[in-house]
Structure 1
Amino acid sequence: MSTDNLTVVLAHGAWADGSSWEKVVSALESAGVCTIAAQLPLTSLDDDVAALDRTIEHVEGPVVLAGHAYAGAVIAASRAANVRALVYVAALAPDEGETVADILGRVAPHPAAPALAPDAHGLIWLPDEAFPAAFAQDATSEEQTYLRAVQQPISVACITVPVGRPLWKDVPAWFLIAQNDRMIPVENQRFMAERMGATVSVHAVDHVPLLTAPTVVADVLLDVVEKVGGNHG
Structure 2
Amino acid sequence: MSIGNVSAVLVHGAWADGSSWSKVIERLQTQGIKSVAAPLPLSSLQDDIAALDRTLERVEGPVVLVGHAYAGAVIGSTRADNVQALVYVAALAPAEGETVGDVFYRGETHPQAPRLSPDQHGLIWLPNEAFAAAFAQHASAQELTVLGAIQRPISVSCIGEAVGRPLWKDRPSWFLTAGQDRMISPDTQYFMAQRMNARVRSHAVDHTPMVTAPDVVTNVIVEAIEAVSAR
Taking structure 2 as the reference length, what is the TM-score of the superposition?
0.98
Partner of 2:114: 114
User: 1:145: which partner in 2?
Assistant: 145
Q: 1:26 is aligned with what amino acid?
A: E
For residue 13 of structure 1, what is the aligned residue in structure 2? Answer: 13
Within 2, Cα distance between the matches of 1:151 and 1:2? 36
Q: Is structure 2 residue 54 aligned with structure 1 residue 54?
A: yes
User: Residue 230 of structure 1: CA displacement?
Assistant: 2.1
The equivalent residue for 2:169 is 169
Unaligned runs of 5+ in 1: none
Q: Which residue of 2 aligns with 1:205?
A: 205
Task: Tell me the residue number matched to 1:4.
Answer: 4
- Work out the CA distance in 1 between the residues paired with 2:23 and 2:4: 21
Name the structure 2 match of 1:160: 160
2:206 is paired with a residue whose SS is coil
Residue 9 of structure 1 aligns to a residue whose secondary structure is strand
Q: Which amino acid letter does the alignment assign opposite residue 178 of structure 2?
A: A
Name the Cα RMSD after superposition: 0.9
Alignment of 1:1-233 (within 5 A): 1-230=1-230
| Matched residue type, 2:86 | L
Q: Return the alpha-carbon distance in structure 1 between the equivalents of residues 95 and 14 of structure 2.
A: 19
The number of aligned residues is 231
- Report deviation, 1:108: 1.3
Residue segments in structure 2 that go unaligned for 5+ positions in a row: none
Q: Structure 1 runs of 4+ off > 6 angstroms?
A: none
Q: What is the DSSP-based 3-state SS (H/G/I as helix, E as strand, rest coil) of the residue aligned with 2:164?
A: coil
1:4 is displaced (CA, Å) by: 3.1
In the TM superposition, what is the alpha-carbon distance from 1:142 to its structure 2 partner?
A: 1.3
Given residue 82 of structure 1, which amino acid in structure 2 is its aligned partner?
N
Q: After superposition, what is the alpha-carbon deviation per residue over 1:49-106, rounded to whole angstroms, capped at 9, x for unaligned?
A: 1111100101111000000000000000011001000000000000000000011111
CA distance in 1, matches of 2:81, 2:73: 17
**Distance of 1:93 and 1:77 partners within structure 2:** 10
Q: Deviations over 1:9-68 (max 9, x none)?
A: 000000000110000000001100011111101000011111111001011110000000
Instruction: Give distance in 2, aligned partners of 1:229 and 1:53.
Output: 22
Q: CA deviation at 1:2?
A: 3.2
SS of residue paired to 1:174 = strand
| Distance of 1:175 and 1:4 partners within structure 2 | 22
Partner-residue secondary structure (3-state), 1:85: strand
